[in-house]
Amino acid sequence: MALYTTRVAEKLRRGKLAAGVITVFVHTDRFAGGPQYYNAGTHTLAYPTDSTQELLRCALDALERIYKEGFDYRKAGVMLHSLSPAGQLTLRMFGDEKAERFRQVMVAVDGINRRWGKDTVRFAVANPDGRWGTKFEKRSPRYTTRLREVLTIE
């Protein structure tokens, strides 16, 4: 869940958006013969944010509320709602200095990862062993839609 939240926060910042609500969900394989479970937890933020730290805290809190031991989970995910432009965020009544530090940290982390490659700097809770990858990272090249993926022979 932490990896999903980290990725969605990166995409949120890339799109210059902030989220006001985060929903996490988990469910088992409905075609498997074992016990079935599905649940989702939603967390409404006091102020919309694009900060990975704040979104992670909320996502892991929601996951803790819905997670049950003893199930073979097949799928988990994160959804963001109440999106708004990040440039028009409401000033916070309390803790604005902390939120500004979070923004500065995320600008630095995004800059390092852009320059040196994905996950050069990451949160320890997100993919600590580095072995897991999403399915889209295993896709074949898109020669017909991406010029930079066209094969060249030198």
Q: What are the pLDDT tens digits along the chain (154 aa)? A: 888 888 898 899 889 998 999 999 999 988 888 889 999 999 998 888 888 888 999 999 999 999 999 888 888 899 999 898 887 666 666 667 776 777 788 888 888 887 887 777 777 676 656 555 566 666 777 777 777 777 778 7
Quick one: which of 81, 22, 25, 75 has its CA closest to 52? 22
Q: What is the structure's pLDDT at 44? A: 92
User: What is the pLDDT at residue 59?
Assistant: 93
HSE-up of 95 (CA within 13 Å, CB side)? Answer: 7
Whole-angstrom Cα distance, residue 74 to residue 35? 12
Instruction: Measure the CA–CA gap between 8 and 49, rounded to whole angstroms.
Output: 12
What's residue 34's pLDDT? 83
CATH superfamily of 2-128: DNA polymerase, Y-family, little finger domain (3.30.1490.100)
- pTM value surpassing 0.75: no
Structure confidence at residue 119 (pLDDT):
74
The residue type of 70 is: G
C-alpha–C-alpha distance, residues 154 and 150, integer Å: 13
Q: Show me where the domains of the chain are located.
A: 2-128
pLDDT of residue 154: 77
